[in-house]
């Protein structure tokens, strides 16, 4: 049994345990590839309620909670906390990236599955993590790159700031997803198509290998290594017959 089948089996086991025991069960944080496996597996537990959440609206890495208040008669929050990691002195701090924060955390021996997104705002990292690993992060993460850090738990996130989007308008001959990816990320059509064969394109958490797929309005297109966007459709046609397409690109 390969890793994909084992992961499917794990999702099905958690769903059934939750249903039979009448208590909530949670997955680890899931990346895009694992979300695609989950979306394949969930046909095996139709009727068992679940919710997905990554700590904030717009999060890419998410956790699945099996069960709901209507079925169980009580609610339970996701075991997710947000840790604010900011330089002790912004004046002398390095320019920090997602890779810098993630590398510092992984170097502490922390499993990637216990970590959600790490959005950066004004050189400050907001680390979404499982609540049981948070105390370790708080005590051990003292430096990112060459910058000394101070950490605190966040009670209230910067509203609407962590996952900002910008409206982008492009022109394309049609609504094929490979054409949209090429235009938005400034790639040749061949470069865009190669991303599909490399299994790097996901639409609403599902792997997409079909370059001619026509996305639906509000579907989220994620391209590993490039970025993600929300497809908004086309509003008009240019004089030359091209479609004027709009997307909200995460920045």
Please write the tens of the pLDDT for every residue from 169-204.
999 999 999 999 999 999 999 999 999 999 999 999
Would you place residue 1 in the very low, low, confident or very high pLDDT band (cuts 50, 70, 90)?
A: low
Closest CA to 61 of 158, 128, 131: 128
Write down the CATH superfamily of domain 165-250.
RNA-binding S4 domain (3.10.290.10)
Whole-Å CA distances, 34 to 30, 60, 113, 123, 132: 5, 12, 10, 29, 21
CATH 3.30.70.330 intervals, the chain: 80-153
CA-atom Rg of the chain in angstroms: 20
The pair of three-digit structure tokens given for residue 150, joined into one six-digit string: 């101070």
Render pLDDT for 232-246 as a digit per residue (tens, 0 to 9): 999 888 888 899 999
**Higher pLDDT residue, 251 or 80?**
80
- Placement of tokens 């998410």 in the chain: 62
CATH 3.10.290.10 intervals, the chain: 165-250
One of 3.40.30.10, 3.30.1370.160, 3.40.50.1100, 3.90.1150.10 is the CATH number of 3-72, namely 3.30.1370.160
% of the chain exceeding 70 in pLDDT: 99
**Would you state the pLDDT for residue 2?**
81
80-153: CATH class: alpha beta
CATH 3.30.1370.160 intervals, the chain: 3-72
Region 143-172: mean pLDDT is 91
Please give the model's pTM, rounded to 2 decimal places: 0.89
**Higher pLDDT residue, 120 or 156?**
120
pLDDT at 208 over 80: yes
pLDDT at 25 over 80: yes
């Amino acid at each position: 049994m390969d890793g994909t089948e084992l992961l499917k089996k794990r999702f099905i086991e958690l769903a059934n345990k939750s249903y039979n025991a009448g208590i909530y069960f949670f997955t680890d944080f899931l990346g895009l590839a694992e979300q695609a496996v989950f979306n394949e597996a969930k046909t095996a537990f139709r009727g068992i309620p679940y919710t997905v959440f990554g700590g904030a609206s717009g999060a890419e890495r998410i956790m699945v909670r099996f069960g709901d208040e209507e079925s169980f008669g009580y609610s339970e929050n996701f075991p997710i906390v947000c840790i604010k990691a900011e330089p002790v002195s912004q004046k002398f701090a390095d320019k920090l990236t997602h890779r810098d924060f993630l590398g510092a955390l992984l170097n502490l021996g922390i499993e990637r599955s216990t970590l959600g997104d790490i959005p950066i705002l004004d050189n400050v990292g907001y680390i979404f993590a499982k609540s049981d690993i948070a105390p370790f992060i708080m005590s051990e993460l003292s430096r990112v790159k060459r910058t000394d850090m101070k950490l605190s738990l966040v009670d209230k996130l910067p509203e609407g700031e962590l996952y900002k989007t910008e409206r982008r308008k492009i022109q394309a001959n049609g609504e094929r997803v490979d054409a949209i990816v090429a235009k938005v990320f400034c790639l040749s059509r061949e470069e865009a198509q190669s991303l599909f064969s490399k299994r790097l394109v996901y639409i609403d958490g599902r792997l997409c290998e079909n370059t001619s797929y026509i996305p639906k309005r509000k579907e989220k297109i994620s391209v590993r290594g490039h970025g993600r966007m929300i497809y908004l459709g086309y509003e008009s046609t240019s004089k030359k017959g091209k479609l004027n397409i709009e997307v909200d690109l995460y920045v």
